[in-house]
Structure 1
């Protein structure tokens, strides 16, 4: 992968970025995403934010390599602190992190009154935590996609300022994803059913088929079955 050829996961993130956006990509690593968007004339300006020196230097190298120094700037900073008021950023992407870390970054920025029109988020884990944060901070999820790379599933969501009331099912499965029920979505949750089957076997072997924990897993299993049927 490079800034010319994005992975399916990052390509899905890129597809959500509005035309002409002023973008901040937080945790940008090599700056492949903003560089790709600039090369394809989809955005006008971007910040590549990194908290670690190594990835920050990787981003700097890619910016020079692609001759994007007037449109793309790498900044060494923690989370949304990479963004300055004079950047006039309207869109933020955060991809490839755990859901807890993503919400920590958003919460820190939110507490400093940094509020952006569009958030495009791709948590590697704990997607429900990200959706809950959006729901509680006046952001509305407009669209979602799910991508599979090798044996991993990645959910990408785009949210804009607005109100939304998400149910517990919406938070867990995605308000858009659970309605579309694509083959990739079903495959992700079938994999989870297979994992729970193994848990059942282990609990039964331990003589705990009547235990509260077994019943809790059974409820989760039945819920997933109901959603993907």
Structure 2
């Protein structure tokens, strides 16, 4: 099986999954990611977690179609409750969800004992990336790798993190990504050039509004200054 089964963003997620990982793919979307990884002999065990019967049936159908019922376990569960101790999961993927939902899943998973300090997190939020990084920072996770890809005019950020007690990030690193801000690839620059235009419009609207809060204006001005600085 080739990478055509995967979108560009999921192909990048797959690239971050370690060889022979025991994977939990939360919100698996037809189980395409674990199917691809098993087919290419990158992993031989995965749990495909889904919260609703419809997506679970779709995932189960694809798993049977490719003949991987022994390697990939479809499981109906809310978030990280899909993980059982006997799975010995060492890598957790949450891809294609909103950033706020991603942090909610992680928080509940930690409270329920399904998220352990030994697990690698590979996160691809569709929005609110800063919220995800803020969660990681406050929960003592270090961001080791990041990548940003453009697909069909949208930008997707992938964040790879491990638990590490002594890591600290500035507000600017949380905003842009501590690794992305160093790499500044083409997709990064395109995203933030577009975002700069949006922020400038927001600032103009705030300055023209009678009820705009001074703190909000200052916040947007700070973001604009940061964006201009990283785009230099």
Is 2:141 aligned against 1:139?
yes
Residues 128-147 of structure 1 deviation map (CA, whole Å, 9 limit, x = unaligned): 11111112223211100001
Is 2:193 aligned against 1:190?
yes
Is 2:114 aligned against 1:83?
no
Equivalent residue number for residue 107 of structure 2: 107
Query: Which of 121, 124, 131 is 1:122 aligned to?
Result: 124
Paired residues, number = 228
Which sits farther off after the overlay, 115-124 or 64-73?
115-124
Within a 5 Å distance, the mapping from 1:199-214 to structure 2 comes to 199-203=202-206, 213-214=216-217
- TM-score calculated relative to the size of structure 1: 0.92
Equivalent residue number for residue 152 of structure 1: 154
Aligned pair in 2 of structure 1 residues 68, 185: CA closer, same or farther (>3 Å)?
A: same
3-state SS, counterpart of residue 93 of structure 2: strand
Residue 202 of structure 1 and its aligned partner are, at CA, apart by: 3.9
Q: Is the 8 A contact 1:100 1:126 kept in 2?
A: yes
Q: Is the 8 A contact 2:96 2:126 kept in 1?
A: yes
Which sits farther off after the overlay, 39-48 or 201-210?
201-210
Residue 212 of structure 1 and its aligned partner are, at CA, apart by: 6.0
Aligned pair in 2 of structure 1 residues 54, 201: CA closer, same or farther (>3 Å)?
A: same
Aligned pair in 2 of structure 1 residues 36, 215: CA closer, same or farther (>3 Å)?
A: same
Aligned pair in 2 of structure 1 residues 89, 73: CA closer, same or farther (>3 Å)?
A: same
Query: Which of 182, 197, 217 is 1:179 aligned to?
Result: 182
- For structure 2, which runs of at least 5 residues remain unmatched after alignment? none
Residues 171-219 of structure 1 deviation map (CA, whole Å, 9 limit, x = unaligned): 1100100011111101111111111232344456668999665444222
Question: Aligned equivalents of 1:101 and 1:215: distance in 2?
Answer: 28
Within a 5 Å distance, the mapping from 1:60-71 to structure 2 comes to 60-71=60-71
Q: Is the 8 A contact 2:3 2:11 kept in 1?
A: no
Residue 58 of structure 1 and its aligned partner are, at CA, apart by: 0.6
Q: Is the 8 A contact 1:3 1:33 kept in 2?
A: no
Aligned pair in 2 of structure 1 residues 111, 211: CA closer, same or farther (>3 Å)?
A: closer
